[in-house]
Amino acid sequence: MPTDSSAPRKRLPAEARRAQLLEVAASLFAERGYARATTAEIARAAGVTEPVIYRHFESKRDLFVALVEQTAEATLSIWREALESAGDPAQRLQILLGSNPMVALGDEEAVRYRIILQAITETGDAEIHKAVVKHFRSLHAFVESEVEAAQSAKKVSGRVPADMIAWILIDVALGFGVLEAMGITGHHQSKGTSVVQVIGQILLPRRK
C-alpha cells in the first residue's frame, strides 16, 4: 500500500532500508515485471524518494540482480534448515524433492521465484544473465552434493553421474514451477500419483 507522502518518513539503518527496498521491489517486479516496474514506483511504495534507492543500488538492474542473488541464498538457507533433522541420505533427497522453491516454500518464496522467471526473460542483459547462471549453479551444487552422498550410501544408483541427476531434478522442478505459475491444472498428478512421488520412485527405488 502506498505510503502517505505527507507523513514523516522513519529513518531506517542502512541495512534495514536495503532489506525493505528489496522486499518492496520483489513484490512490484513479480506483479508488473522487470521492464514495466520503475524505480519511482518502488520508491513510492517504500515511502522514500528515488535518491534513497540510488544510495543502496546503482540502478534498477543492480536492484534486480540483488534480488536474484538473494533468492538463491534464501533457497539454500531454507533447504539447509529443512535437512537439519534428516541424517539418512535417502530421506534428505526425499525432502529436497518436495521442496521446490517455486511452489512449496511459502508465499514469500513463491513471490521471489517469480523474480527468477522474470530474470529468465531478461538474460539478454549480461549482468542479469550472469546472476541467473550463478543462481542455478549454486542450487545445482547443493543438490549434486546430496545426490553424491546418496550414491555413496548406495541409496541411489551410480550409473548416472550425480551432476547430471542434479541438473535433471532442477530441469523438472523449473518446468513444474513454470506450469504452476501459468495456472496449468492437472500437470502434477494423475490417478492419485504425483510427479514428486514418481521421481522419488525412480531415484530412490525400494530395495528388497
Q: Is the pLDDT of residue 128 over 50?
A: yes
Same-domain check for residues 163 and 125: yes
pLDDT score recorded for residue 136: 94
Same-domain check for residues 35 and 75: no
Kindly report, residue by residue over 154-190, the tens digit of the pLDDT: 999 999 999 999 999 999 888 887 887 788 888 777 7
> Would you say residue 113 lies in a domain?
yes
Q: Is the pLDDT of residue 3 over 70?
A: no
Q: Is the pLDDT of residue 132 over 90?
A: yes
- DSSP H or E stretch at residue 208: none
Structural domain harbouring 28: 10-57
Q: What is the DSSP string of 56-109?
A: H-SSHHHHHHHHHHHHHHHHHHHHHHHHTT--SHHHHHHHHHT--TTTSS-HHH
> Would you say residue 101 lies in a domain?
yes
Most confidently modeled range among 81-85, 116-120, 187-191: 81-85
Q: Is the pLDDT of residue 8 over 60?
A: no
Higher pLDDT, 151 or 14: 151
Number of domains in the chain: 2
Instruction: Summarize the confidence of residues 102-123 as an average pLDDT.
Output: 74
> Would you say residue 125 lies in a domain?
yes
Same-domain check for residues 113 and 150: yes
> Would you say residue 36 lies in a domain?
yes
Instruction: Summarize the confidence of residues 54-60 as an average pLDDT.
Output: 95
Q: Is the pLDDT of residue 207 over 60?
A: no
Same-domain check for residues 92 and 167: yes
The CATH number of whichever domain residue 44 belongs to comes to 1.10.10.60
- 190 backbone dihedrals φ, ψ, rounded to 5°: -150, 130
pLDDT score recorded for residue 108: 62
> Would you say residue 3 lies in a domain?
no
Per the CB < 8 A criterion, the answer to whether 105 and 169 are in contact is: no
> Would you say residue 1 lies in a domain?
no
pLDDT score recorded for residue 109: 62
Same-domain check for residues 141 and 83: yes
Same-domain check for residues 49 and 70: no
Cell numbers given for 64: 534486480
Instruction: Summarize the confidence of residues 68-79 as an average pLDDT.
Output: 89
Same-domain check for residues 75 and 133: yes
Same-domain check for residues 82 and 39: no
Last residue of a domain, one of 18, 38, 57: 57
Higher pLDDT, 99 or 37: 37
DSSP state of 199: H
Same-domain check for residues 52 and 121: no
> Would you say residue 4 lies in a domain?
no
- DSSP H or E stretch at residue 186: none
CA distance 152 to 158: 8
> For residue 152, how many other CB atoms are within 10 A of its CB?
12
Same-domain check for residues 136 and 84: yes
- List beta partners, residue 193: 190
Q: Is the pLDDT of residue 104 over 90?
A: no
> Would you say residue 2 lies in a domain?
no
Q: In the chain, what percentage of residues exceed pLDDT 90?
A: 49
Q: Is the pLDDT of residue 107 over 90?
A: no
**What's the chain's average pLDDT?**
86
The CATH number of whichever domain residue 133 belongs to comes to 1.10.357.10
pLDDT score recorded for residue 133: 95
Identify which of 47, 62, 38 has the alpha carbon closest to the alpha carbon of residue 11. Answer: 47
Same-domain check for residues 51 and 116: no
Last residue of a domain, one of 21, 40, 57: 57
